[in-house]
């Protein structure tokens, strides 16, 4: 298994969800950075939490982060279980998981923030931070997802969100590291290795 650490890494194709359009998902990994004036870091953003508060991503300085767009009625919804298991195993001082509910794919996240929060707690015991429902594609894309998917903004790579439970990794300095398609499980070796840093 290729490690995430290094300046250059390869891209690979991942299998698509049966509910997803037939185009294959891609895994995008760390590439050479080009310096432009528009580049920001992950730590420059804020988002509304699922219970109406404000989450300042600068509070994550020094932590590695897994960001995932979630949905309650998707074939991948069961990944909440593994996300919570990963969080219980490695979350804390050095690693964080952030969930962003989104209703962008076949209306698979139709609930209100309160309904989503109740669903996550009741069915999966989710304790990692969940943000308020957003859009992760299209004209209403949340600024954090514009950054995650645009090389012009993150300075590393373009990426796309093709379905629910797409995953992004950001390092302790707020730098974009990698993206994975929905079929990559939260306990995938590369993600666990990234989260297990000392």
Which residues are known catalytic residues? Answer: 74
- The secondary structure of 44-56 as a DSSP string is G-EEEBTTS-EEE
Query: Exposure of 172 by Cβ count < 10 A (0-12 exposed, 13-18 middle, 19+ buried)?
Result: middle
HSE-up of residue 170 (Cα within 13 Å, Cβ side)? 29
Q: Quote the CA–CA distance of 35 and 16 in Å, as a whole number.
A: 33
User: In which residue are the tokens 């995430």 written?
Assistant: 4
């Amino acid at each position: 298994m290729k490690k995430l650490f290094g300046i250059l890494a390869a891209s690979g194709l991942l299998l698509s969800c049966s509910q997803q359009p037939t185009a294959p998902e891609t895994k995008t990994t760390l590439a050479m950075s080009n310096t432009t004036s528009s580049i920001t870091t992950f730590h420059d953003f804020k988002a509304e939490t699922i219970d109406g508060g404000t989450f300042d991503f600068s509070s994550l300085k020094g932590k590695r982060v897994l960001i995932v767009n979630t949905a309650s009625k998707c074939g991948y919804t069961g990944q909440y279980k593994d996300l919570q298991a990963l969080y219980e195993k490695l979350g804390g001082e050095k690693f964080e998981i952030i969930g962003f509910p989104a209703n962008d794919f076949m209306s698979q996240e139709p609930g209100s923030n309160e309904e989503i929060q109740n669903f996550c707690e009741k069915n999966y015991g989710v304790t990692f931070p969940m943000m308020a429902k957003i859009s992760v594609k299209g004209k209403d894309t949340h600024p954090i997802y514009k950054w995650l998917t645009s090389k012009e903004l993150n300075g590393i790579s373009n990426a796309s969100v093709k379905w629910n439970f797409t995953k992004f990794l950001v390092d302790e300095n707020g730098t974009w590291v990698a993206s994975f398609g929905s079929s990559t499980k939260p306990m995938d070796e590369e993600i666990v290795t990234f989260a297990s840093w000392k």
